[in-house]
Structures are given as C-alpha cells and as structure tokens.
Structure 1
Amino acid sequence: MASKLMSSVGIIIVRVRKFDQMQRLVREIQRLRTDPEVARVVEARLKEFEEIGSGDWRLWARELAFCILAANFKAVRAFEIATHLWSTGLLFGGSAPEIENVLRRMGHRFPKTRARFIVQAMRLVKDVRRVIPSLTSRRARDWLRREIPGLGMKEASHFLRNTGRKDVAIIDRHILRIMRDYALVSDLPKSLTVKRYLELEGVLRGVAVEIGLTLAELDLYMWCMKTGFVFR
C-alpha cells in the first residue's frame, strides 16, 4: 500500500514539473507575441502561406521543392536553392543531372538524392495541387508521404503548413530541442515513428491551445525562439 502511494506521489510530482515547464514555455511565447515586429512578421508569413495555398501549381511546386531540400539541411539555404530553380525554370524542365549540378554548386548536402526527389515530385505536382485541397490535413499528410518521394511526416507537414494549413506541427530539430529544454520530451530522438510524431504533435497542440494559437503560429514563434528570426 505504501509503495503504491509513493509511486502515485512520484507520478504527480513529475506531472506537476512538466506542467510548470510547459507554463514556462507558454510565458516565453507570450512574451514573443508582445514584440510588435515578431508578431507582424508571423502574421505576414501566415498570410503569405494562405496566398500560396490559393495560388496555382507553380507556387506549390516551389514550396514542394523547398520542403524536399530543407530536410536535414539549412532552411534558409534550401529556400534560396528552391527559388533559384523556380525562377530559372529548371524546377519545371530540368533533368536530374542538371538540378544536381545546381544543388552541388549551391552547397546542398545531398545533391544527387534531392535532385532525383525533386524531378519525381515535379511530375506529380499538378496532382498534388488537385488532390490535396479536398482532403483533411491528416489524410493529406498521409497521401503526400505515400505518393511523393522525399516526404516524411515532417516534410509533408511543412508543405501543408506552407500551403495554408494551420493544424499540423513541423517537428524538426529546432522544435525538438525546445521541447527537450522545456521538458516536453526527455531526449532528442534520432528519428520519429509516425506514432511518436503524432504523440509529440499532440503535446504541441496542447501548448498551442493553452496560448490561443494555431499549430502554424506556434511553430513560427518556436522557430524564432531558437533561431532569433521568423522564417518559413
């Protein structure tokens, strides 16, 4: 009886500590929200994502290439490369070797595999633009993971957020480090199963609800916490 009581007390203490840490994260994000410049950029970025979402397949193509390139690579540089491919037309008509040469020249870590993924994805991008709007975010993410080479849970979530969805979490290394720092996870996993990803997304959804934000807004503020700026 005593051991059960002690075990219950221990569980309660752990939960209280986790709640306290979550409240600390909530306060930090609320502080960021009071910064007028940060809030302005977040609002502008979300509006941009909505405009991309209502735009044509060419805009979706750039975001799809960006999300493929950003996997395990610097997001800012990935967007620069995707924008270069988009503006030069290579994104739509370039061969895998041509795109690989650009990626290699611009310093991407995985020029060969990402070039191949991009070429394969561009063959399907019109289907993506046609199919995704009619699906729930959960089904859309599953469809993207199944149909588009180079997209896992994180990359598919990233693409959905950048085309206007607000109810998916982009759980990358920056977000995981914040979750660890605030005791929302105990360690930094090298990879995430679909089940674990959904569990962590649920944790982040709880934080977002506590603050009164969407998951899309929360991600931008948490990214800013870790990097010092709002990106995409």
Structure 2
Amino acid sequence: MTGCARSAEQGRRNLKRLRNEELLRELQFLRNSEISEVIRKRIEEFIELGNREEKEIFKELCFCILTANFRADRCIEIQRRIDDGFLNLSFEELRDELRKLGHRYPERRAEFIVEARKHIGVLKGLLEMEEREAREWLVRNIRGVGYKEASHFLRNVGKMNVAIIDKHIMSILSEFFGIEKPRSMTRRRYLEMENILRGIAEEVGLSLGELDLYLWFMKTGKVLK
C-alpha cells in the first residue's frame, strides 16, 4: 500500500470513528430527553402483548407480515380496522378488505395470513425460546416472514434481543458507517448488520429492541411499533 493509499485508509477509519461517536452522542441525548419515557411505555406495551392469549399475538404477527414493503403507519390502521378478521375472514374476504384499505399487496398478504393460521397454537411456546432460535423457526415455517418481519414480530411481543433492519435503519447504517444497502438481504448479511447494531446498543446500554425505537425516532420523528 502506498503512502497516499494508507493516508486515505486512515482518513476513512477516522471519519468512521467520528461518525460513530456522533451517533452515540445523539442516542445519549435522546435517552435523557422526554422521548425516553415514550419509548419506555411502548416497550411495556410490547411485553404486555406478549403475555396475552395466542389470538392477540397472532394478530401482531399479521401486522408484521403486512409491513413488508409497506408503510408501518398504514399497517397500524389496517390492523385496527381488520382486527379479528385476521382470525376468521376467508382468503377472498381478507384479500378484498386489504384491497379496500389500500394495501399494496392484498392478494399475497391475505394468502400468507390465512396460511399462517395453522401456527396460532405454537406462538406462546415460541416466545419461550431464545429470540434468535425463535426467529429462525419463524423464517423457516411461515411464508411471507423474513428476518426483518420475524425480528419485528418478536420485538413487538417483548423479545428485545433482535434487530429490525428496515429502510430507516439501513439509512442510519449508510449515513454513519458507509454501509451500502445490499441488493438482496441474505441471512449472513442481515446477521452482520445486526452485530453492528448490537455493538452500538451495548455502547449506550440499550437492548436491540430499544435501540430500534430510538433510531426510528431519529429518522422519522415517530415512535410507532
């Protein structure tokens, strides 16, 4: 490596370190702000949901299936409107309801949700498993659920040791660490990014689930779910 190349590499490392420190400072600021109480209450809601009956937990799984390539705030409204329909509507009825409510993929999401009903009885037991093991089960066994959706579901029912790597979190990783969005999110790539986020979480004393809420607030100004 030439002297110029070494200098450039050192410059990149220094910039990355400074950007990391900037992110940590911003997170610490938010932890000491009023938004921390909003996030604390949201986490309490997640934990409470995880202690409810399996039908309620399943409806949260349906919400997470809906969020793939679609806006979370729209999915929250759809979940509120359909409610028990996730449990008992036929495929055609659910598809038509999703279409009426403006979901981008009504047919595929209805198909995934109706098929996933056969797993309602295992959800409580799933939450007794270690988070990453539970995530692997979800990805293997439920169509329409990838690592992001499985992590999202687990976090929303109180399992806080997984990362939800969506476009907002990818934007943070790109902005502060120069990580480009992969063309396809393989398991290996997802876990690599999750490990970066785990390191950040440890630096500021947060779980991955908490960190996601803070990062999401940084990008959107909202605390959703």
TM-score by length of 2: 0.94
Equivalent position of 2:107 in the other structure:
112
Q: Which moved more, 1:135-144 or 1:8-17?
A: 8-17
Matched, 1:79 2:76: yes
| Cα RMSD for the two superposed structures | 1.6
Equivalent position of 2:139 in the other structure:
145
Contact 1:169 1:219 in 2 (8 A): yes
Matched, 1:123 2:121: no
CA–CA distance in structure 1, aligned partners of residues 112 and 38 of structure 2: 31
Question: Structure 2 counterpart of 1:129, which letter?
Answer: K
Name stretches of at least 5 consecutive residues in structure 1 with no aligned partner: none
CA–CA distance in structure 2, aligned partners of residues 142 and 45 of structure 1: 25
* Equivalent residue runs for 1:1-232 within 5 Å: 3=1, 10-36=8-34, 38-86=35-83, 89-130=84-125, 132-185=126-179, 187-232=180-225
CA–CA distance in structure 2, aligned partners of residues 110 and 227 of structure 1: 24
CA–CA distance in structure 1, aligned partners of residues 77 and 183 of structure 2: 27
Question: Structure 1 counterpart of 2:98, which letter?
Answer: L
SS at match of 1:189: coil
Question: Structure 2 counterpart of 1:172, which letter?
Answer: D
Change (3 A) 1:184 1:51: farther
The offset of 1:58, in angstroms, is 1.7
The offset of 1:72, in angstroms, is 0.5
Contact 1:184 1:203 in 2 (8 A): no
Q: Which moved more, 1:8-17 or 1:142-151?
A: 8-17
The offset of 1:63, in angstroms, is 0.8
SS at match of 2:144: coil
> Aligned pair count?
225
Contact 1:223 1:229 in 2 (8 A): yes
The offset of 1:5, in angstroms, is 7.0
Question: Structure 2 counterpart of 1:168, which letter?
Answer: V
Contact 2:201 2:211 in 1 (8 A): yes
- Deviation sequence 1:55-107 (CA, Å, 0-9, x none): 11022111101000011101011121122222xx3111111110011100000
The offset of 1:8, in angstroms, is 5.5
The offset of 1:207, in angstroms, is 0.8
The offset of 1:188, in angstroms, is 2.3
CA–CA distance in structure 1, aligned partners of residues 188 and 77 of structure 2: 32
Contact 2:58 2:123 in 1 (8 A): no
- Deviation sequence 1:134-171 (CA, Å, 0-9, x none): 32111111000011111000000001101111110000
Contact 1:62 1:83 in 2 (8 A): no
